[in-house]
Amino acid sequence: MRKNYITVLNVICCFAVVILHVNGIFWTFSKDFTWISANVIENIFYPAVPIFFMITGCNLLDYRDKYSTKEYAIKRIKKVFLPFLAWSLIGLVSRVIYMEYPLSEQTLTSIISQILCSNIVEVFWFFSPLFVIYICIPALSMIDKKDRQSIFKYLIVAAFVMNAVFPFIMNQLHISYDSRFRMSMMMDYLIFPLIGYYIDRYNIEKKYRNWLYIAGAVSVGIMIIGSQILSFRDGAVNGTFKGYTSMFCILYSSAIYTFFKNKKWENTSKVVQICSQVASLTFGVYLTPWFIIRVVKAIFHIGMVSLPSRVVSSFVVFVIALIVVKIMKQIPGLKHLVP
């Protein structure tokens, strides 16, 4: 049975991803309110994908209690890889129709390359680290449960220090360092499923949770203010404080996850009920917004530039995506595209 906080977080993260897609104007820098508001929105909703990876770790690291590794692999292929492949090909057809990709230039090798690099549907970039996480989970799941708390804590802290804090400090001090100093076995996004599992399974004392909340609040403040100051200085979007595996994003994402995990949901049963009805549609919603945004822009000529248009468009795209996925799930031939 899925836990209430996971259900609610899953829906919120799904909506946050839609907001980030609609808020694409962030990547076109300007010194006006449009970009300033886009910068705030970008950084507030930035942890959507890291939290999705945390939920993945929480849900899958104990898969051996329910089924074999073979079945685990088959489920990941059917529920994630095949839909990713199918929607990437649909995206290719869309780009050909829009005359963005000349059909005459498409070869088998170029198509495979574009799919693997997420060049067709750019927002599918998160599938690459997700697949790596899926591949690593069987090995991590073999760690005895009685040893996981200490081992996972060590891996999380070591990876955070060596892969996030150390590189940031060295870069700010303009000190060159050998990248092999980084903890290669925990590179990139693998820290998130371990954090998700650790926060879910083990009790964190209130005083440490409060420190984490403070660190998370400070981190998102630094991300917003720091990005604005440095971008205004450079006249272009500055990514010094960005990056999903940066120390700021890790702290901010972990604080949000911890807050939701420790919130008492008994008095918010209506919220849980609504999210429960939507939860089964969320993965399909992760797959479809790129396509829906293109259609909405083409039909209604909406630029999604002004703050009001971005706010309204986020809700419109999210609702349309839910409806589309709900309908597709009722059609035998299409339901496998939105598992």
* Rounded Cα–Cα distance for residues 89 and 91 (Å): 5
Percent of the chain with pLDDT over 90: 78
pLDDT at 328 over 90: yes
Place of tokens 């060295």: 170
pLDDT in tens, 148-163: 999 999 999 999 999 9
Residue whose pair of structure tokens reads 């002004």 in the numeric block: 306
Q: At residue 302, does pLDDT exceed 90?
A: no
Give 142's Cβ-side CA count (13 Å radius).
5
* Average of per-residue pLDDT across 160-183: 90
pLDDT band for 1, please (50, 70, 90 cuts).
Answer: low
Average model confidence (pLDDT) across the chain: 92
pLDDT value at position 288?
92
Does residue 270 register a pLDDT over 90? Answer: no
Whether the Cβ atoms of residue 92 and residue 114 lie closer than 8 Å to each other: yes
Maximum CA pair distance of the chain?
A: 62
**What is the CA 333 to chain-centroid distance, rounded?**
28
Return the closest-CA partner of residue 47 out of 182, 177, 242, 206.
Answer: 242
Say if residue 322's pLDDT is above 70: yes
Residue 28 φ/ψ, nearest 5 degrees: -110, 95
| pLDDT at residue 326, as a whole number | 94
For residue 180, is pLDDT > 90?
Answer: no
What confidence score (pLDDT) does residue 273 get?
A: 86
- Does the CA dihedral 76-251-3-148 come out positive or negative? positive
With H, G, I as helix, E, B as strand and everything else as coil, classify residue 243: coil
The angle that helices 127-140 and 69-76 make with each other, rounded to 10 degrees, is 170
Average pLDDT over residues 305-326: 93
* 27-55 pLDDT tens trace: 999 999 999 999 999 999 999 999 999 99
Burial (Cβ within 10 Å: 0-12, 13-18, ≥19) of residue 59: middle
Q: What CA–CA distance (Å, rounded) separates 23 from 41? A: 7
Separation between Cα atoms, residue 168 and residue 242, nearest integer Å: 11
The answer on pLDDT for 168 being more than 70 is: yes
Q: What is the pLDDT of residue 60?
A: 96
SS3 state of residue 205:
coil
| Global confidence as pTM | 0.93
Lowest-pLDDT range of 70-74, 90-94, 147-151? 90-94
What would the mean pLDDT of 215-234 be, rounded to a whole number?
97
Query: Quick one: pLDDT at residue 339?
Result: 86
DSSP secondary structure code for residue 237 in this structure: -
Q: Is the pLDDT of residue 243 over 70?
A: yes
> Mean of the pLDDT values across residues 281-289?
92
If one counts every other C-beta atom within 10 angstroms of the C-beta of residue 329, the result is: 16
Query: How far apart (Å, rounded) are the C-alpha atoms in residues 11 and 200?
Result: 18
3-state secondary structure of 227: helix
Sign for the pseudo-dihedral over CA of 108, 110, 114, 120: negative
pLDDT computed for residue 185 by the predictor: 81
